[in-house]
Amino acid sequence: MTALYMDENVDGRIVRQLRLRKVDVVTVQSDGRSGIADPLVMDRATDLRRLLFSQDTDLLAEATRRQRAE
């Protein structure tokens, strides 16, 4: 199963329900990185080899910027 890295804007109810279903979830908060900038959130998810889950439109803009830079 996919390991997830949850951005801090994700509703905690989603995190709890995923964990109840035995999904491997790490949150920005539980990783001790609350408040870090979106580029750092993306880098951290990559470093941990986890799929990033976010509901943050600013983070989507950062992802788009990175794709265009490739």
Written as tens digits, the pLDDT of the chain (70 aa) is 789 999 999 999 999 999 999 999 999 999 999 999 999 999 999 999 999 999 888 888 888 999 999 8
Structure tokens at 61: 């803009």
- 37, 23, 27: which is closest to 5 by C-alpha? 27
Structure tokens at 44: 């951290």
pLDDT of residue 2: 86
CB-based contact 59:38 (threshold 8 Å): yes
Q: What is the rounded distance in angstroms from the CA atom of residue 35 to the CA atom of residue 53?
A: 16
Three-state SS at 51: strand
